[in-house]
Structure 1
Amino acid sequence: MKKLLLAFFVLVFIIPLVACNQNAVQKIRVAEVTRSIFYAPLYVAIEEGFFKDEGLDIELTTTWGGDKTMTAILSDGADVALVGSETSIYVYAQGSSDPVTNFAQLTQTDGTFLVSRDKVENFTWDQLEGSTFLGQRKGGMPQMVGEFVMKKHNIDPSSDLTLIQNVDYANIPSAFASGTGDYVQLFEPTASIFEQEGKGHIVASFGTESGKVPYTTFMSKESYIQENEENVKKFTAAIYKAQKWVDEHSAKEVAASIAPHFEDTEPSLIETVVERYSEQGSFATDPILDTEEWENLQNIMNEAGELPKRVDHETLVNTIFAEEVVGN
C-alpha cells in the first residue's frame, strides 16, 4: 500500500514539477556593442516574439564599445555578446582558458559609411588624400575595414591623410559635429541624421567596398555554451526566424517592427536605413559563419596589422547550432 501511495505521489506531484521546470522561461542576458538599425534582425526577434516562442526571455543591455562588451562576457555580466568577431580572436590570443566562441552570425558586411563634412560631387577615394579622417577605435572592425578599403583604393592611411583614432566610440559623432575631421566613418542612423541636419554628406559605403565578412556575431564563453546547449540552440533558432522574416518583408515593415528600439528616430528614417542595409546585403540571411568569411576577417585584421595570430575556423566558431536550425 505504501508503495502505491509513493507512486501516486510521484505521478501527481513530482513529475508535474519537473515538467514545469523544464518548460520554464529561460532568461538570457545579451550585451550588444551598440544600438544600431544594423542589428535589425535582433530587434525583430524580440518584437515579433521569436525568442518568446522558444521559451526565452531576453534581457538586452547596450554596452557601448567592444572592450566593454567583452568585459561583460568575461566577468559573467552577460551570457551572450553581440559584437565584432575579431574580439574573440583578441581574447583567444591572450591565452584564455575559457575562450569566447562565435555561434551565430547577424551581419555579413561592414555597417559604416563615409561621411564628408562638405558636399562632394562625384566622390572618388583619392579625394581622401591630404584630408583629416576621423576614424573608429584602433583594432576594432570598423577601423580595420576602413583601412582595408582605403588601401584597396591605393590610399595609405598612415601617410596619405591625417588619421584620428583617439576619440571614444560614443563621442565620434559629436566630435565630428563640433568640427573635428574632414571625413568621418559613421554607423546608421547617425550618418543619415547628419545628412538630414546638414552636418555631413554620405559619399560611400564601407560595406559595399569590403565584401562579406562576419562583422557582428553572437558569442559566448565556451563554458556557457557547454552548460546551456539547449538555450543556445533556441537562441540561434529565434535569430534565424528573424533573419528570414527580415528577408521576406519590406523595409517599411521591418522599420515598424523595430521602431520601439529607436524611439527618438523618425519611422521614415528607420525605413531608409533598413533599405540601405538590405540593398547592400548587410543582414545575414542565416546564422552560419562559414570558413571563407572567417578567413576574410583575418585577412582584413592582418592587413591592418592587428591580427595577433591566425586561428582556425573550428577553434573559435561553433556552427553546430546554426547548421541544425537551418537544416530543420
Structure 2
Amino acid sequence: MIRTVKRVVAPLLALALVLSACQAKPGERSEGGEITIGIGGQPLLVYLPTTLARELGYYEEAGLTVNLEDLQGGSKALQALQGGSVDVVSGYYDHAIQMAAKDREVRSFVTMLRYPSIVLAVSPKASKPIDSVADLAGANVGVTAPGSSTDFFLKYMLDKEGLAPDAATVQGIGGDAGAVTAMEQGRVDAAVMIDPAFSLLGQRVGEDNVKVLTDTRTAEGVQEDFGVPTYPAAVLYSTGTWLENNEENARKLAGVIVKTLEWIDQHSAEEIADRMPAEYSQGNREVYVESIAKAKDAYSKDGVMQADGAEAVRSVLAQFDKEIAGADIDLAGTYSNDYLPAKEG
C-alpha cells in the first residue's frame, strides 16, 4: 500500500514542481492576459492620458485587456510594481532614475508629460507667514505621498534655497479632494499640488487667497525652476524583465498613449472633459474644464523622451539625493523610445 501511494504521489509532486517553476514571478508575466497599470493618483490631470485611453476604447481597440488601479501617489505605485501587483506604472520618470541608483532596472517607454505641472502653494490658513520657499523651513508641507515626485520636487526647491532637504516636515495628503481639504482647513502650511486639485482650491477659497511660490505648469515656470525648456514628468514605466517578456504588449501600450496624446492635441478641453469620468471634476465641471485647458500644452505631442530632458531630471535629483549623486547611472537604461510607433515619412 505504501509503495502504491509513493508511486502515485511522486509523479504528482514532480508535476507540481514543474508547474511551479514555470509560473512567472511578479513582474515577469509574458504576452497575453490582462495588464494592470498602477496610477499614482488617477484623477490627477498629469495622468489623464492613461484613463482617457480607456474611455476612448483605445486599449480594447489595440487588443489589450487593461485594468487601471488608482493608488495614492507615485511612491505607492512604484511599491506595487516592485511587489508584483501591477505590471506597469503611470507615474513620474523620477522613479526610473531613483531605481537605477539602486541597481534596479526600471524603464520608461512612453512619455506623456513634458512639464511637471506641479504647483507649490501656501495655505490661506498657514500657521506662519510664508512668502518664499525659504520660509518653508520648519513648516508642515503636504505632498501626494512621501517618496513621490511631489516630495522630490519639494526637496529640490528647499535645496535650491540652500536649505536641507528635510528642512520642512512632509505630510502625505493625496492629490485630489484630500489635498484641497488639507489646504483649505490649514492642516498643512503649504503643499505641492497638481491640477485639478490646485484650481479647485482657488475656486473654493478665492484665487487671491492662495499664494503661489512656484508653478511648473508652463514652459516659463520649468525654465525658471530647472533651467531647461522641458522636463519629462509623467510616463509609463515598468521593469526591464516585464518589458523583455512583453515587448508586443509594451508596443501596443505605447501606441495607445501616443494615439491618445494626438487626440488630446486635436480636441478642446470641453471635449476632453466630456470623455473623462464625471467624478473627476469633484463637483465643479467649469474649473475642471479650465484646468484641462491650462494643462493641454504640457502634454507630449509624440511620446518621445529627449536625452537632454532625462539628463535634466537626473541632475535635479542628484542635487538633494546623495545616493543618486554618487551612482554611476546609465541614463540610456532608464528609458526607451523603441516601443513608440514608427514615424511616417
Which of the five TM-score ranges fits, normalised by the shorter chain?
0.7 to 0.9
Aligned equivalents of 1:299, 1:213: Cα separation in 2 = 11
The within-5 A match list for 1:140-179 is 140-149=148-157, 155-158=161-164, 163-167=168-172, 169=174, 172-179=179-186
Structure 1 counterpart of 2:210, one-letter code: H
* Counterpart Cα distance in 2 of 1:189 and 1:25: 35
In 1, Cα distance between equivalents of 2:169 and 2:284? 31
Q: Does 1:112 align with 2:118?
A: yes
Q: Are residue 201 (structure 1) and residue 223 (structure 2) matched?
A: no
The answer to whether the aligner puts 1:38 opposite 2:50 as a matched pair is: no
Question: How far 1:299 sits from its partner (Å)?
Answer: 1.1
CA RMSD of aligned residues (A): 2.9
- 1:299 and 2:325 aligned: no
Which residue matches 1:250? Answer: 268
For 1:16-35, what aligned pairs fall within 5 Å after superposition?
Answer: 26-35=33-42
SS of 1:165's partner is: strand
- 3-state SS, counterpart of residue 321 of structure 1: coil
Deviation at 1:25, TM superposition (A): 8.0
- Give percent identity, aligned residues only: 18
1:285 paired with 2:301, answer yes
Q: Structure 1 177/118 Cα, relative in aligned 2: closer, same or farther at 3 Å?
A: closer
Any idea what the Cα deviations from partners look like across 1:60-90, whole Å, max 9, x if unmatched? 0012123321222122211111112222223
CA shift at 1:246, angstroms? 0.5
Write out aligned runs for 1:262-281 (5 A): 262=280, 264-278=282-296, 281=297
Letter in 2 for 1:44: L
* 2:304/2:337 contact within 8 Å kept: yes
Deviations 1:117-145 (A, max 9, x none): 349xxxxx964443536143555322333
2:101–2:323: 8 Å Cα contact kept in structure 1? Answer: no
Residue number in structure 2 paired with 1:313: 331
The aligned counterpart of 1:18 is none
Question: What does 1:50-65 correspond to in 2, within 5 Å?
Answer: 50-65=58-73
| Closer, same or farther: CA 259–268 of 1 in aligned 2, 3 Å | farther
Match for residue 227 of structure 1? 245
Q: Distance in 1 between matches of 2:273 and 2:96?
A: 31
Q: Secondary structure at the match of 1:219?
A: strand
Q: 2:75 aligns to what?
A: 67
Contact 1:236/1:325 (CA < 8 Å) preserved in 2? no
Aligned 8 A contact 2:119 2:194 in 1: yes
Letter in 2 for 1:163: A
Residue 238 of structure 1 is matched in structure 2 by 256
Deviations 1:17-76 (A, max 9, x none): xxxxxxx98522110011212222222211112212111122000121233212221222
Structure 1: how far apart are the matches of 2:332 and 2:216?
A: 28
Counterpart of 2:299 in structure 1: which amino acid? F
SS in 2 for 1:134: strand
Letter in 2 for 1:165: V
Whichever residue aligns with residue 305 of structure 2, its letter is: L
| 3-state SS of 2:38 partner | strand
**Is 1:286–1:326's contact at 8 Å kept on the other side of the alignment?**
no
1:256 to partner: Cα distance: 1.2
Shift of 1:113: 1.5
User: What SS does the corresponding residue of 2:121 show, helix, strand or coil?
Assistant: strand
CA contact (8 A) 2:101 2:328 kept: no
The 8 Å contact of residues 134 and 176 in structure 1, kept in 2 or not, is answered as no
What aligned pairs does 1:62-141 form with structure 2 within 5 A after superposition? Answer: 62-96=70-104, 99-118=105-124, 127-131=132-136, 132=139, 134-136=141-143, 139-141=147-149
Q: What is the one-letter code of the residue matched to 1:111?
A: S
- Structure 1 stretches of 5 or more lacking a match? 1-23, 120-124
Cα displacement (A) at 1:112: 1.7
Deviates more, 1:42-51 or 1:131-140: 131-140
Normalising by the residue count of structure 1, what TM-score does the alignment of the two structures yield? 0.78
One-letter identity of the residue aligned with 2:318: N
Structure 1 pair 221/130, CA: closer, same or farther in 2 (3 Å)? Answer: closer
SS at match of 1:130: helix
* Alpha-carbon distance change, 94 to 195 in structure 1, aligned in 2, over 3 angstroms: same
In 2, Cα distance between the equivalents of 1:147 and 1:77? Answer: 29
Shift of 1:249: 1.1
Cα contact 1:133–1:163 (8 A) shared by 2: yes
Please give the TM-score of this superposition, normalised by the length of structure 2: 0.74
Moved more, 230-239 or 61-70: 61-70
| SS of 1:95 mapped into structure 2 | coil
